[in-house]
Structures are given as structure tokens and as C-alpha cells.
Amino acid sequence: MVCQAAEAHDEDAAPVVADFLSVNARIAKPGSGHTILFQVGYKGSVEFVRLEHFAVVGIEARTSNAREMTSEGSIGKIWERFRRQNLAEKIPNRADSNIIAVYTDYASDEHGDYTYLLGAKVTAVAETPEGMSVRNVPTGRYAIFSSARGAVPKVVIEAWQRIWVEPRTAEYSRNYRTDFERYGTESADPANSRVDIYIGVRD
């Protein structure tokens, strides 16, 4: 979540009704940098994937959504430092050019504290640069929410607002273990970006 107050949403909004699509194969999603073990998606709504675990190296802070809506928020400051110090280029063994923002160590749910790490996926963790940490995105099932195309952080905030009010179903029940945002080739232009948000869900 990016630092900014959320707009009100209708908690009783009707869920999108859609047909299932399923793929039972080990495939690589183009541009994602992740191997999909099993994929199930909704037409026009939420796509589900099962990913193998991977490590992300970067800089982190402990925060909460409530804190991010105030001047005490950490996420904007982390992004500023990450760009100013060109930290992406200092991460060894990068797996690809994507930037990954990890949300993990949830104290409870979206209302509690969590750890936010901004960095990159790595192929190996031989050593962690000074001032950086490593977090593991566990093997598991994830729901993918793709933002609209537009200016960051606006489209990211709107995507998270959708995630918060998405109706819980047998297919979609958050596990509050680890979530992450992927900033890939479609996020190169901050004024015209599309971001994928992967939400950890129960099997």
C-alpha cells in the first residue's frame, strides 16, 4: 500500500460473477519472472496461481496501513531512498529487472502491523549488502490483482482498495502470510504504469 488515505467503498458491493478457466501445467507467465505450478483464473476478475518460493533482497521497515495514511508512513520514504541511492543496482544475483515490494510478518490482518520490503528477486543469497535484508516469498497459492493503467501511486492505491473489499469466497480467502507487488516492464513509466499485486490465499 502506498501512503495516502483510502476512499470509502461499498462493503456490500456485488462480486464479479465469472467463469472459471484452469490450466494444469508447469508454465512460466510471460514477463512475470515466476514459474506457475498451477493456475486457475476468473475471466475479467481475479487470477489465481501457485508459485514456487523465491527470495527478495532489499530495504525494509515495520509499518501499518493506518501509519501509511499519516506523515509517519515509511513506504514513501523507502521508495525515495531506493531510487536516490540506486539500490536496485547494488543487489547481487538479481533474477530479473523487476522491482518487488513484499508485505510480510503480518501481526493480524490489513489493520495490523506488517513488514514492508522493497527490492528485487534474487537467484541466490550468497551475501546481503549492508543495510539490506532478505525475505522469502513462500511456495503457495496467490490471487493476482492487476491495477488499472495510470499514475503510480494512484493506481496502486486503487488496486489495494479493491483487494480490501473483495468478497471472501471458497476460492479467495487471504492467509496474511506474504503478499507482494511486481513492478515490471509495464511499470517503467511512473505516469502510465500497470502493477500486479499478488495476494497470498489459503489452499
CATH code, domain carrying 182: 3.20.80.10
CB atoms within 10 A of CB 185: 10
Q: What is the pLDDT of residue 46?
A: 85
CA distance 58 to 101: 9
DSSP 55: E
Residue 16 has pLDDT above 80, yes or no: no
Tell me the mean pLDDT in the region 170-188: 96
Residue 164 lies in a domain: yes
Of 193, 110, 111, 185, which Cα lies nearest the Cα of 153?
Answer: 193
Residue 176 lies in a domain: yes
pLDDT tier for residue 126 given thresholds of 50, 70 and 90: confident
Its pTM stands at: 0.80
Residue 9 lies in a domain: no
pLDDT top residue among 33 and 140: 140
Q: What is the pLDDT of residue 12?
A: 35
Residue 182 lies in a domain: yes
Residue 13 lies in a domain: no
Q: What is the pLDDT of residue 87?
A: 98
Residue 11 lies in a domain: no
Mean pLDDT score of the chain: 84
CA angle 19, 192, 8 (to 5 degrees): 65
Residue 5 has pLDDT above 50, yes or no: no
Q: Do 120 and 100 touch, CB atoms closer than 8 A?
A: yes
DSSP 25: S
User: Range of 85's domain?
Assistant: 20-201
Tell me the mean pLDDT in the region 20-41: 41
Residue 5 lies in a domain: no
Residue 6 lies in a domain: no
- Per-residue pLDDT of 55-64, as tens digits, reads 999 999 999 9
The set of cell numbers assigned to 122 is 534474487
pLDDT tier for residue 33 given thresholds of 50, 70 and 90: low
Q: What is the pLDDT of residue 139?
A: 98
Tell me the mean pLDDT in the region 30-54: 64
CA distance 64 to 16: 29
Cα–chain-centroid distance for residue 40? 18
In the chain, the percentage of residues whose pLDDT exceeds 70 is 78
Domain count, the chain: 1
Within 8 A by CB and 6+ apart from 88, the residues are 82, 94, 99, 119, 120
Q: Do 55 and 136 touch, CB atoms closer than 8 A?
A: yes
